Every structure is written in C-alpha cells, then in structure tokens.
Amino acid sequence: MRITLLSLPLLCFAAAAPARAELHITRDHGGYVDEYKAKYKRVRDKGERVIIDGICNSACTLVLGIVPMNKICVTPKASLGFHQAYYDKAFTFGIKVTSAEGTSDLMSYYPDTVKDWIRRNGGLTTDMKKIKNGVELWKIIDPCPEEW
C-alpha cells in the first residue's frame, strides 16, 4: 500500500479520533432470550454504550438488566415493549404458549424501576405493554445527552 502526501493527514486524523463503540437500537422486536443475553453481555463487557432510538420490544428489553443503566440512553423516538415470555412456536405447533419460568427469568433481569412500571401497569401479560418516550420512560432511562 502506498501512502501519498494527500492521504497522510487523513490517516493521522483517523488514528487519533476516539472510537465510539455503541449499539444503536432502532427497530428491534425481540427474539430468543438466550441470544439477547449473550449479545448484551458482550456489549457490557466491552463497555459499549447503548442508544435506544426506536422500538425495543420483548427480549430486546433485557438490555436494561444486563448493560449498566449509566451506559444506556433514549432518544425522542424510543419505546419499550414488555410481555410474558413464551415458548418457541416451532415446538408448540404454531400456538403461542406462555412460559411462567421464562417470564420469571425475564423479570429477574430487570432493574426495580422497570419491575415497578410493569407492576403499576398490571404485570406482564400476553399483550404488549409499551412505554413511549416521555416522563414515564425517563423515570427508567435517561434521555441521551447531545454528545452521544
């Protein structure tokens, strides 16, 4: 590789710029709980920040119990959605069957602020319960500062 005089300043600037490791959540409807646990443990262990800038539903919300809350923020587009855990429909002939054990596991990860919101809103059910951006959400997660 040949470095020209014109590319040298750009190369120096790129090397000097701080790395901004972050996970940007914009449209996450959830999935397998174990996959999210592993993903968020990697994010936590790397010290990455998480910006919730859209939908974070179902297993996505595990981020609140695995990544430190001081590493998570929300933008005005953020929303969280919670529901009971259910078994993979591939093993239940396509029928949604809730899992008491899975739901208990989910709840065990959430910080008290999330558990309190869920209790105040009737507990976890099969229906999605959403928190949209605003005061209710800010009681749980801080808004993103401008420098994020």
Q: For residue 7, is it within any domain?
A: no
- Give the count of domains, the chain: 1
Does the pLDDT at position 9 exceed 60? no
Q: For residue 76, is it within any domain?
A: yes
The predicted structure's pLDDT at residue 12? 47
Domain that holds residue 78: 22-139
Which band of pLDDT confidence, cut at 50, 70 and 90, is reported for residue 127? very high
pLDDT in tens, 59-84: 999 999 999 999 999 999 999 999 99
Q: Residue 124, Cβ neighbours under 10 Å: how many? A: 19
Q: For residue 111, is it within any domain?
A: yes
The predicted structure's pLDDT at residue 85? 94
Q: For residue 117, is it within any domain?
A: yes
pLDDT in tens, 78-89: 999 999 998 888
Q: For residue 14, is it within any domain?
A: no
Average pLDDT along the chain = 88
Distance CA 79, CA 26 (A): 10
Q: For residue 37, is it within any domain?
A: yes
The residue that leads in pLDDT, 41 or 4, is 41
Which ranges of 55-130 does DSSP label H, i.e. alpha helix? 63-66, 100-109, 112-120
Q: For residue 79, is it within any domain?
A: yes
The residue that leads in pLDDT, 70 or 16, is 70
Closest C-alpha among 107, 90, 89 to residue 98: 89
Distance CA 60, CA 50 (A): 12
Q: For residue 145, is it within any domain?
A: no
